[in-house]
Structure 1
């Protein structure tokens, strides 16, 4: 299986983007852009929803 190892800009951990996923396709088109891992992005999204609703 082909994958990219990407460093998260928030937690600095490496995570894998496997071939066939949307993240893999996006990273293949934008290799110089920095991204967040799915865990960090979910945390930030939940935090934003909490502040918006409450």
Structure 2
């Protein structure tokens, strides 16, 4: 029983690692998009300030 339980647990560890990588990749992609959007907003604001001058 114990050996079978160990064998059943081992396959579950692999998908969990893959899911963690997917979650991390998704978080990283979300962060990168947020930084890109914020940088574009800053550029637009700086352009507006230049126009006002």
Normalised by the size of structure 1, how large is the TM-score?
0.37
Name which one, 1 or 2, has greater alpha-carbon Rg: 2
Q: Highest relative contact order (Cα 8 Å, sep 6+), 1 or 2? A: 1
Structure with a larger share of its residues in helix: 2
Normalised by the size of structure 2, how large is the TM-score?
0.38
